[in-house]
Amino acid sequence: MSAPLIVVDERNVPIGEATREEVHARALWHRAIHCLVQDRRRHVFLALRDDVVCGDRFDVSLTEHVRPGESFVDATRRGLARRLGIPAVDVEAVTGVFADRDVHDGGPEHDGRSLADYRFMQIFRARHDGAVALDRRVYQGGIWLAPDEVDELVAAVPRRFAPHFLKDWVRVRAAVGTRP
């Protein structure tokens, strides 16, 4: 069973806790973060998913749920260490908190049923030069690309990206820049 997540109402006010499975199965509002990792050349690390959510598609560097007692920043730092092997680094908010909804394939883990993802999100950026140690339960690989290269790949083969990545990229594209 997974760790409990914060359940919130439509105004992002905490109203309880539930597991990840319950949050998605019952379409409960919760909190989550996405994070883009950039190196000093401003290349972005795109993770290649290997789980039931958007498997075999490129995604932001990190997605993570916010747990009880955590801030959005705390969840980002925990996720960077846990999922990417990146030790404590400074993270910078690229967006404010916003409401977001997605529906995606739940895969065999959920008998092919779609999962509803109703969340209050915040997108962050972390600066990191060095190795990335992927959590192989979630990611099968990843690539570092310059922002302009990401633009080209998105334009050429958008189906290679998680749908939420495409929405995120529009929101944060100006912030990731084009050169150091």
C-beta of residue 136 within 8 angstroms of C-beta of residue 49: no
- 59-93 confidence digits (pLDDT tens): 999 999 999 999 999 999 999 999 999 987 889 99
- 28-51 confidence digits (pLDDT tens): 999 999 999 999 999 999 999 776
- 119-158 confidence digits (pLDDT tens): 999 999 999 998 899 998 888 899 999 999 999 999 999 9
Q: How far apart are CA 94 and CA 85, in angstroms?
A: 22
Domain ranges of the chain: 5-174
- In CATH terms, the fold of domain 5-174 is Nucleoside Triphosphate Pyrophosphohydrolase (3.90.79)
Q: What is the pLDDT of residue 146?
A: 95
Q: What is the pLDDT of residue 2?
A: 74
Q: Which residues of 71-88 are buried (b: 16+ CB within 10 A; e: fewer)?
A: ebbebbbbbbeebbebee
Model-level pTM?
0.90
Decide the pairing of beta strands 29-38 and 114-127. Answer: parallel
